Structure formats: C-alpha cells, structure tokens
Chain A
C-alpha cells in the first residue's frame, strides 16, 4: 500500500505536467468559419464615451463581416498590472486602449507592435508630430495618440466679474506673476483665489512646468537622461508655494485633495479658480448648482508660452496579435475625423487629429471648448513619459518632496537636492 503512493504522486505530477504543456493550442484568432475576431479593450468609462465606442464597434462590425471586433470593457484601475499579466500570459487584447505614459515599459518589453509599417498615410499625416512623439519609443511607434487634455483654470465667472481683473484668453494669457497677483485680488473673507488639488503633485508640476521654461528631465546626446532643476523649474513650483504659504491666496487644505474633492468648495464660492484637467468640465456641468456661472481660462504662460505637457490616450496593437493589419484598419476607422470628434465629445477631451480639432462642435464657446481647442497647438509630450525609472522617481522621490515643499516644510534648495540628487540615483539604476 505504501509503495503505491509515490507511484500515484508521480502519475499525478505527469498528468499535471501534460496538462500544463500539452493543452496550449495555438490560436490564430479566427472563428470556425474563418471570420477574424479581434478583441478591443476600451477604458472609456463615461456613459457618452462608452456609448460612442460601442456604436463605432457596431458600425465596424456591420461593414466588415469578415473582421469582427469584440468590445471588452477595461478599467483605469490597475490597468498596467492587468495588461502586464495578459501580455505575459499571451492573452492580451488585440487592440489596447491606454495612456501614453503607461506605454514605455510595454514598448521596451516588446509587447506592443511597432505600427510604423502599418499606419495609413491619412492617419499619420492627420496627427501632429508632437503627438506622435508621445508614443515613440526606441524609434518605433507603439500607439496612436487620439485624445488629450490640457490643464485649464476653471473659474467662477461672478467672482471674476466682480473683481474687475483682466480676463485672460489663449491669445493674451496671464503670466505666472499676473496669475499670482490676480489670485491675491480674488482672495477675500472666507474665500481663496485659487485651490490647487495636488494629491498627485508630480504630473501637474512637470506638465505645467513647461510653460515656465522648466523641463527637469534632460536627455543627453547619448540618450541618457539626467535630472537638473533650473531657473525655469522654479517658476510653477515657486508660484504654488508662495500662494499657499506667503500670499495665503491658495487654500492649504486643498493640497491633499483630488480634483473632484475640490469641486464642492468651488461651487460654494470658497475658491474662485481651480486648475484642473479639461475633462473635469463634465463634472462641473453635472454637479454645479442651478445658476452657477463658470468659465474656462487658459493656464498661465511663462517663458515657454502656453506650452504644457500631456500624456494622450492611445490605441495600440499587441505584438502577439495574429491580425495586426486588421487591428490597425479598425483603429484607422475608429479615428476617422468624424469618429474622433464623437470620442472626444464623449470624453470631454480634445482630439489629437488636426481635422477633428477643426470641427465646429469643438470650437464653440459653450463649456469652454474653444479655449481648450486653442490650447491644443501648445501641448507637448509630458517631460518624463519616455524616461525609464520615472514611475519609481515619481512615487519614491518626487511626490513626497513636492508635497513637503508646497506645504512649506522644506526650502527650494532642499527640494532641488531631493529631486535631482536622489532622483539621478534612481534613474542611474535604469540606465546602466
């Protein structure tokens, strides 16, 4: 009896090994009748946006009976880990919706197809080169950037009017110094001129930093990236810190908030202005009390003009997909100018495509569309998104350092030391 146990165990191990190795049949993504079946994982989440995506998939499927697309609802929460697991397991969707700042690891890891030989000329020409740079890694294009959002100032119109301050336009924006002055003027009893919701301070600082002439991440001719905190980098960081700590024109309590958390204070008249992403307008429209008057203003400009960094939403194709050509054809369909407009309106964002951006519905003054559209030409790739090691730098070094700096706990010198010295040590590990 005892001797049978090892034999049984060995047999069980053999069966398990056979199951693990033998059952992996190859799958070329075709149905039994030869129809090609593609999986499109979308991260659209607002109702209008989900509806637009589903409707477009339906239209594609009706027009292409031999190439059918299955819509798969993804989620922004944990999308990186979910995709990584799918790539490793060879089960990734054919068409992948993500954000460009999430693509670097996947692109360098060989999980995403290089789209250069597959992209149709129309699509390539319609999207500006500066947007393509957000998805170009190691010389290859690993995603199609299609939606983006500038950071704008959402302001209480009544307070602005009553104060008599000059209203900025994309043609004549406020300088950072002027913005600081205006914020002081808008500050009054029980009211702050501005609230900076900086729960996640790094991308805001870096992206708006471009307008002040800051860059922080500098790529040498040999391709290595070095962190340097220069005069331009101190413009935005210094303004926020001074507003909170010296001028008292920015609410200290808002520093720990997310964008949505600050909205009730804005609606209640406690904050005159909120620097938020362009898509937050949807929440304002939905939640603002009856009669609340608001407007969209461009973010302040500095020596870099209105420039700011963005990480557009992207559509990529999995390297393992057996039908890359068809997948790119679907992306091309999804991003036809008229469709790009539908997606942009659904997400309250700006399309990257030049033709879509010219659409009259995105140029209307209502809900600040025109202000956002005017900013599109100033949008640049977020400074750090192609830098390997950036996520670690952001979490371990920059986030705590900036939080302490903005709250007044450390000086500019200490901030510089931590961002640069500690940061370069982190980056060095990724650039050996």
Chain B
C-alpha cells in the first residue's frame, strides 16, 4: 500500500471516528442545551444550540417539584451496592466456570445466556411476591437484591471471559514457587483480572443506575424512589412533558455515570496495559 493511500485511509478513519463521536455526543449536548433554555425557546421553530437567554429556572423548578437529591442518593446507594455485591459474587463463580470445564459449567454458561432473554414483565409478579414475603417491598435492599440477581448472569459471563484470558501457566508457575491456592488467586490472578472486575462493576452500576421498571414497581414511598422513577414525574399522559425541568433533571442524572466513566476509564486502560506487560 502506497503512503498517500495509507494517509487517505487514516484520514477516513479519523473522519469516521469524529462522525461517530458527534453522533454519540449529540443527545447529551442537546440535553444540556435544552436544560438551560427558557420555556419560550423550547417552543421555537428554529431551535439554537446555544440558548439565547440561558436560565437556571429549569433546574430550580426541577428541584422545587421533585426530591431529586434524595432520589439521586437512593440511586447511588442501590447502584453502588448492587455493583459491589455482583462483583464479589461473580468473581469466584466466574473463575470456577472458566477454569473447571465440565457439563455443569457448560450448562451454567448456557443458562446465563438464556436468562438474559427473560423480559422484565415475565418475572416481576413472582419476584414481587417473593420480596413481599421477605418484607423487602419498598426497601432499597429489596431493589439491590433484584439488581444483583438481574446483573449477575451477564457479569458472570463477562468475567469468565477475562479469567480465560489469564494464562493458566501463571498459576502453575505460582504453585511451583510454593504459593497456595488462595495466595495464587489473590496475588496472581486478581491483579490481572482487575480491569475485568472494574469493567464488570461498571456494567452492573450503569444497569442499576438506569433501571426504571423494577424501581417503579417495588418502591412505593417518594422518599425511597430512585432517579429514573422521579424523572417520569415530569411526564404526563399521552407523552406530554414538562420539557425544561425534565431536561435539567435528566442532565443531572447523567453526571454520576459520566464522572464514574472518566475516573475509571484510565484505570481500565492502565490495568489492561499492565496485564499485557506481565503476560
């Protein structure tokens, strides 16, 4: 391949990447723009990217009308707890699934994949009855339990892939050096799995942070409700919306995910590089 062709290809790649980034960023930027627009600009036939008369009224109204901080705290507790518990449970299970190949592991993997196909409405009533009998309706613990169970199959599947990527020879070498089973897992396998664990935890966090239906059904009182449920309080029948405050609240709701990604993304990348060097 000649140099100019290669340069053209690279330019094309960058352009495609740029287009993709713009595509990804558009909804967020539009949300941001809408959140700062006064009501009159929201109804404009020629909407602008930059609000002509930016205002904080939508944020004020959103906070006045709904308990957003309380809801954000509830969401944070539910999502962080669910992510931590899911990772703690999934890590040893994924190790077993990946290292001990057999009928049981194959069946478990199959079940994990199948279980992802169950629609929410199919499981919600039996789940509701179980949680009711455990006195976990209208509690964050009940919701966390559901989120853990719901994210566990995919977390397992995801982590098992990371475990398989860790060369078994490393564990054998550790054993030869005299390390016991637990020491091998903690000192050798776990550090190499760190990026996978973080990515899995992030997945569980985002799933729980964005989840709406279980939270709607399981949480009854306003002080327990999570952000996605509270956001729907800005919506009326037949799709009518209080657009300004809704955009302001939705913008705030996206912030924790963004911050978390920004913080963790470097660690994932760093962990991967470290793993590659060691491998």
Cβ contact within 8 Å between B45 and A267 = yes
**A430 interface residue, CB < 8 Å from B?**
no
The proximity string for B residues 113-150 relative to A, scoring 1 for CB distances below 8 Å and 0 otherwise, is: 00000000100110011101111010000000000000
Q: Which of A257-265, A323-331, A353-361, A365-373 is near enough to bind chain B?
A: A257-265
Cβ–Cβ contact B235 & A89, under 8 A = no
Indicate whether B248 reaches chain A with its CB closer than 8 angstroms: no
Residues from chain B with Cβ under 8 Å of A84 in the complex: 125
Task: Please tell me if B232 contacts chain A, counting CB pairs below 8 Å.
Answer: yes
CA distance A21 to B46 in the complex (A): 61
**CB under 8 Å from chain B, chain A span 259-310:** 259-260, 263-265, 267-270, 277, 279-280, 283, 286-290
Q: Please, which residues of chain B bring their CB within 8 A of the CB of A93? A: 220
Please pick, from A24, A46, A75, the residue contacting B132 in the complex, using a CB distance under 8 A.
A24
**Are B222 and A73 touching (Cβ within 8 A)?**
yes
Given A81-B217, A259-B238, A279-B240, A73 and B233 touching (CB < 8 A)?
yes
**Once the chains are docked, how many angstroms separate the CA of A286 from the CA of B40?**
7
- Asked if B130 contacts A277 (CB within 8 A), the reply is no
Contact A263 B216 (CB under 8 A): no
Residues of the A chain whose Cβ atoms lie less than 8 Å from the Cβ of B42: 287
Considering the complex, give the chain A residue whose CB is closest to the CB of B138: A91
> Total interface residues on A, using CB and 8 Å?
50
In the complex, A138 has a CB within 8 A of chain B = no
- A contact residues around B133 at 8 Å (CB): 19-21, 23-24
Bound together, the chains give a CA A86 to CA B124 distance in angstroms of 10
Complex CA–CA separation, A43 to B237 (angstroms): 9
Contact partner of B240 among A99, A270, A280, CB < 8 A? A280
Contact A289 B243 (CB under 8 A): no
A-B contacts counted at CB < 8 A amount to 121
Please measure, in the bound complex, the distance between the C-alpha atom of A269 and the C-alpha atom of B44, giving whole angstroms: 11
Name the B residues within 8 Å of A19 (CB-CB).
133-134
Residues from chain A with Cβ under 8 Å of B135 in the complex: 23
Q: How far is the CA of A290 from the CA of B137 in the complex (A)?
A: 49
Q: Which residues of B contact A267 (CB under 8 A)?
A: 43-45
Please measure, in the bound complex, the distance between the C-alpha atom of A262 and the C-alpha atom of B46, giving whole angstroms: 13
Interface band, chain B = 35 or more
Which residues of B, 204-226, contact A by the 8 Å Cβ criterion? 212-213, 216-217, 220-222, 225
- Give, as a whole number of angstroms, the nearest-CB distance from A55 to chain B: 14
The distance from the CB of A99 to the nearest CB of chain B, in whole angstroms, is 7
Cα A269 to Cα B137 in complex, Å, equals: 51
If A20-B130, A78-B213, A82-B217 touch, whether A88 touches B125 (CB-CB below 8 Å) is yes
Q: Contact between A89 and B240 (Cβ–Cβ < 8 Å)? A: no
Q: How far apart sit A88 and B239, CA to CA, in the bound complex (Å)? A: 27
Residue B39, interface by CB 8 Å: yes
Q: Which residue of B lies closest to A71 (CB)?
A: B222
Complex: A27 Cα to B216 Cα, angstroms: 22
CA distance A304 to B255 in the complex (A): 54
The residue on B at minimum CB distance from A267 is: B43
A47 to B234, CA, bound (A): 9
**Further pairs besides A89-B132, A200-B239: 4, Cβ < 8 Å:** A46-B242, A75-B229, A85-B124, A283-B43
Q: List 5 A-B contacts (CB under 8 A).
A: A43-B237, A47-B242, A50-B65, A77-B216, A270-B45
Taking Cβ atoms with an 8 Å cutoff, the residues of A that contact B are 19-21, 23-24, 39, 43, 45-47, 50, 70, 72-73, 75-78, 81-82, 84-86, 88-91, 93, 99, 199-200, 258-260, 263-265, 267-270, 277, 279-280, 283, 286-290
Q: Which 10 A-B residue pairs are closest in the complex by CB-CB distance?
A: A268-B45, A287-B43, A75-B232, A89-B128, A77-B232, A286-B39, A264-B45, A20-B133, A76-B237, A88-B125
